[in-house]
């Protein structure tokens, strides 16, 4: 199969199609986020921060990204499923389509077949690809091509179809137990903050920052994105070795998501953790450069 077969080119023509359902939901969540500060309490803030950690670090970082997409480590199936449920609390879609879109991004990074390259504009990379164009969360062709492993698992098929249920149940529970103010902090404000943190990885870390490794794309390391995304901002490191469960490879590169994976490994829960050191990565790049020069000679 041709590598671009069935995968749309994200040209300007695709941008005229507004995804009304997604746009309406995002507008409502942003309005809720704007209302939340009027209901500030320290308890509401604490609940929001706790859920931000669970959804973004456990769910998106440990789950959807480093485990489900790249298989940088292994955990027992019940924990793997739990991390996927945590990820649905971030309102970033079901596991099958999230994984498929991200694998597509890596195969076609910063080309016309990359769903969210800044070469099509910073706004497009940040959130335009969600609001306009082909819906990545309903592309059967994309899922079949890039996430067949998850598609074979009934749990992931059901969770992908009903990915909005865990967040809805959580929102209703918090509303009943904590009131409107806590719900606004724990759901819309927390979700909107998490969405923009993930979107900054797609946009900002392909536009600004340092490049430790030579890659064929525009990926960069950006410390402030790493801070709000639990280590996902060390994006050039990640693109240099996508399977690695460790994104912060230097001592000063904060990567809480990897620290938790490492803790699970120490406890005997996580297995086959692939986390090469900075020296190993730099050595491999030197070998790759030498091989390229030899081939070109």
Do the domain assignments include residue 51? Answer: yes
**Residue 3 predicted with pLDDT over 70:** no
Q: Specify the pLDDT at position 25.
A: 95
Using one digit for the tens of pLDDT, what is the confidence trace for 74-104? Answer: 999 999 999 999 999 999 999 999 999 999 9
Encoded tokens for 131: 């609001």
Using one digit for the tens of pLDDT, what is the confidence trace for 204-218? Answer: 999 999 999 999 999
What distance lies between CA 44 and its chain's CA centroid? 25
Do the domain assignments include residue 297? Answer: no
Torsional class of 6: left (φ above 0), alpha (ψ -120 to 50), beta (otherwise): left
Encoded tokens for 217: 């794309």
Range of the domain at 82: 13-292
Encoded tokens for 22: 């997604």
Mean pLDDT for 53-65 is 98
Do the domain assignments include residue 53? Answer: yes
H helix runs in 18-147, sequence order:
20-35, 42-52, 77-88, 95-107, 122-123, 129-131, 140-146
Of how many residues is the chain composed? 297
* Cα dist from 164 to 48, 58, 169, 221, whole Å: 18, 18, 9, 32
Do the domain assignments include residue 103? Answer: yes
Mean pLDDT for 103-125 is 94
Mean pLDDT for 233-247 is 97
Contact 135, 23 (CB under 8 A): no
For the chain, give the percent of residues with pLDDT over 70: 88
Do the domain assignments include residue 241? Answer: yes
Q: What is the residue-averaged pLDDT of the chain?
A: 91
Q: Specify the pLDDT at position 1.
A: 40
**Residue 293 predicted with pLDDT over 90:** no
Do the domain assignments include residue 3? Answer: no
Mean pLDDT for 236-259 is 97
**Residue 7 predicted with pLDDT over 80:** no
Query: For the whole model, what pTM was predicted?
Result: 0.91
Do the domain assignments include residue 22? Answer: yes
Q: Specify the pLDDT at position 15.
A: 64
Closest among 128, 139, 141, 137 to 15, alpha carbons compared: 128
* Cα dist from 204 to 9, 197, 200, 259, whole Å: 21, 10, 5, 24
Instruction: Provide the number of structural domains found in the chain.
Output: 1
Using one digit for the tens of pLDDT, what is the confidence trace for 128-173? Answer: 999 986 655 556 777 888 999 999 999 999 999 999 999 999 999 9
Q: Specify the pLDDT at position 138.
A: 59
Residue 30 phi, psi (nearest 5): -70, -35
Mean pLDDT for 4-32 is 74
Q: Specify the pLDDT at position 285.
A: 78
Do the domain assignments include residue 8? Answer: no
Using one digit for the tens of pLDDT, what is the confidence trace for 250-277? Answer: 999 999 999 999 999 999 999 999 999 9
Q: Specify the pLDDT at position 282.
A: 87
**Residue 200 predicted with pLDDT over 60:** yes
């Amino acid at each position: 199969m041709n590598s671009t077969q069935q995968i749309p080119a994200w040209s300007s023509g695709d941008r005229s199609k507004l995804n009304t359902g997604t746009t309406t939901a995002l507008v409502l969540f942003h309005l809720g986020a704007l209302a939340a500060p009027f209901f500030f309490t320290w308890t509401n803030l604490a609940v929001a921060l706790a859920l931000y950690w669970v959804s973004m670090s456990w769910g998106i970082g440990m789950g959807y990204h480093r485990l489900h997409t790249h298989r940088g480590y292994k955990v027992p199936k019940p924990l793997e499923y739990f991390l996927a449920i945590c990820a649905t609390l971030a309102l970033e879609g079901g596991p099958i389509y999230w994984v498929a879109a991200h694998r597509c991004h890596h195969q076609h990074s910063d080309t016309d077949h990359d769903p969210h390259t800044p070469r099509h504009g910073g706004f497009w990379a940040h959130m335009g690809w969600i609001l306009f164009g082909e819906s990545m969360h309903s592309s059967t062709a994309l899922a079949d091509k890039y996430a067949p492993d998850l598609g074979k698992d009934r749990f992931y098929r059901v969770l992908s179809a009903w990915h909005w249920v865990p967040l809805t149940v959580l929102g209703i529970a918090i509303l009943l137990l904590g009131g409107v103010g806590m719900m606004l902090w724990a759901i819309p404000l927390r979700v909107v903050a998490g969405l923009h943190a993930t979107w900054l990885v797609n946009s900002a870390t392909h536009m600004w920052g340092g490049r430790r490794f030579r890659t064929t794309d525009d990926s960069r390391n950006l410390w402030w994105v790493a801070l709000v995304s639990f280590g996902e901002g060390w994006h050039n490191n990640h693109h240099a070795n996508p399977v690695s469960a460790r994104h912060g490879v230097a001592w000063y590169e904060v990567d809480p998501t990897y620290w938790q994976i490492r803790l699970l490994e120490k406890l005997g829960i996580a297995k086959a953790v692939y986390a090469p050191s900075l020296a190993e990565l730099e050595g491999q790049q030197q070998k790759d450069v030498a091989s390229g020069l030899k081939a070109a000679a």
